[in-house]
Amino acid sequence: MEYGGDLSDKLNELWLLLQRPLFTLDKAKVSSLSIIFSIFAVWFAWKISIVLGRLASKWLSGKNVDSGVRDSIEKFIRYSVFLVGLMMALDNMGFSISSLAAVGAVLMVGIGFGLQNLTQNFISGIILLIERPIKVGDIIRVGSTSGRIVDIRVRSTIVQTRDDITIIVPNSKLISEEVINDSYSGKTIRQHLRVGVSYSSNIENVQRILCEAALRHSKVLKDPPPVAIFQDFGESSLDFDLRFFSSEIWTIDVVTGEIRSAILSELRKANIEIPFPQRDIHLKQPVNSD
């Protein structure tokens, strides 16, 4: 009994010690217990946000919702739940909304100068998640960077190139610069392949060869069918533009290369010449004045 009484007394002393105020912040007394509770609230909110985000993504997956939409909703749930937990922790520490606003106003100058780039990327990330001009899985080109989006984070976007190189692109760049999204309008892309043949060639025959070479490729869509346009009179060739659709956006350069090889082979079989630029140089003999 005495042992139990001593243990109870020690627990009471520990509880009172944890409740003892360490300092006062905005008229709120902060104790060791409130600090522990705040840390636990942040940790618990982070764990719950991950679980709820995954559950939402799994539920939306069963509804056949687009993967980009699922990813955006999952991130919004995670950030929202974590923000609630963080606000509860700060409130428990004595940081009321009014005090946070006051502190934020003081820090705005420092943020504006010292963290301008970070803040700009953060806001750009929120805009990308809301407007969704790009999503995970899209194939984009921005500046000299071209590749598939692997992940969209709050500060940056992860892009994987065709050379299997991972590039971290700041979100502000995706907002301020021109971005070409090959996947935005669907899962197909129209490709242009330009071919020049000699002036002695039959136009209808060349158009037939170009279209048939494209149609024979398994990655080229039959509907809409390929079209060979007689585009222009070049300096040394008749210029054609072969236009075809393909669903292989990621490997479209490989598809185009294989069609080029087939076209070259067929043109050679038909004895159709692919000319190269030629120049005639006339040399004049200097006039002898004597």
pLDDT tens for each residue of 250-270: 889 999 999 999 999 999 999
Q: Out of 121-125, 194-198, 275-279, which region has the weakest mean confidence (pLDDT)?
A: 275-279
Would the pLDDT of 243 be above 80?
A: yes
- Give per-residue burial for 117-138: e unless 16+ CB within 10 Å, then b: eeebbbebbeebbeebebbbeb
pTM confidence score? 0.58
Residues in the chain: 290
Query: pLDDT digit string (tens) for 83-122?
Result: 788 777 777 666 665 555 555 555 555 555 555 677 777 7
Burial class of 208 by CB neighbour count within 10 A (0 to 12, 13 to 18, 19+): middle
Query: pLDDT digit string (tens) for 168-206?
Result: 999 889 988 899 998 887 788 899 999 999 999 999 999
What's the mean per-residue pLDDT of the chain? 80
Q: Which domains does the chain have, with CATH numbers?
A: 13-114 (1.10.287), 133-181 (2.30.30.60), 189-269 (3.30.70.100)
- Closest listed residue to residue 198, CA positions, set 280, 271, 274: 274
pLDDT band at 12 (very low <50, low <70, confident <90, very high): low
